[in-house]
């Protein structure tokens, strides 16, 4: 077992995966990391929809995302051919759902890094899943009643390496 500081320092967004599927143990670790995330008032309202990368609904989501953006087919889809995509949905009437989903997906991303897996936190499908096809996609993804898309995570074995992003602490942090 590594340490969280190292996982934070080394994690980067992966945009290329091998075809190797996750093991049941890897997937279980990721899901439990999301489930163990804190939620406001311990509501535990986050729902996780797990899909294999070849699931046909992912192509429909990609097509809708591209249609809304006026794009033709791109070199890669929104999840960069990852073997697993986990879509987080939550109670649309609960004020803290977006924040809770963000905490859960970060837990999952850090555990993926710890396991040596690549991952990509995905927001680019927001308009597709919250737009005019919202009900269709919510049903297809089996979201619970009154739930809507919040964020997603692509995960798999890395086919490409990318250095973690740099930052400017002097410009981004204010100490009072």
Give the CATH number for residue 118.
Answer: 3.40.109.10
Answer whether 120's CB lies under 8 Å from 79's CB: yes
23-58 confidence digits (pLDDT tens):
999 999 999 999 999 999 999 999 999 999 999 999
Which residue range(s) make up the domain with 74? Answer: 4-159
Q: Which residues contact 92 (CB under 8 A, 6 or more apart)?
A: 146, 147, 148
For residue 47, tell me if it sits in a domain: yes
For residue 172, tell me if it sits in a domain: no
Structure tokens at 38: 């804190």
Three-class SS state of 168: coil
pLDDT at 1: 58
Structure tokens at 121: 């936190």
For residue 167, tell me if it sits in a domain: no
pLDDT at 72: 79
For residue 176, tell me if it sits in a domain: no
Reported pTM: 0.95
Domain count, the chain: 1
For residue 120, tell me if it sits in a domain: yes
For residue 173, tell me if it sits in a domain: no
**Strands annotated E in 27-126:** 47-52, 84-91, 118-122
For residue 169, tell me if it sits in a domain: no
Answer whether 21's CB lies under 8 Å from 160's CB: no
For residue 170, tell me if it sits in a domain: no
Q: For the chain, which ranges sit under pLDDT 50?
A: none
């Amino acid at each position: 077992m590594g340490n969280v500081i190292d996982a934070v320092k080394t994690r980067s967004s992966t945009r290329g995966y091998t075809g190797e599927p996750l093991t049941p143990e890897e997937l279980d670790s990721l899901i439990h990391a999301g489930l163990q995330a804190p939620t406001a008032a311990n509501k535990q309202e986050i729902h996780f929809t797990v899909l294999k990368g070849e699931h046909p609904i992912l192509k429909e989501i990609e097509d809708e995302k591209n249609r809304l953006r006026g794009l033709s087919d791109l070199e890669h889809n929104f999840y960069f051919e990852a073997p697993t995509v986990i879509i987080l949905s939550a109670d649309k009437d609960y004020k803290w759902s977006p924040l809770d989903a963000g905490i859960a997906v970060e837990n999952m991303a850090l555990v993926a890094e710890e396991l040596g897996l690549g991952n990509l936190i995905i927001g680019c499908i927001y308009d597709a899943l919250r737009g005019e096809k919202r009900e269709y996609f919510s049903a297809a993804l089996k979201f619970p009643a009154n739930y809507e898309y919040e964020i997603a995570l692509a995960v798999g074995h890395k086919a490409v390496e990318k250095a973690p992003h740099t930052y400017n602490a002097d410009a981004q942090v204010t100490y009072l």
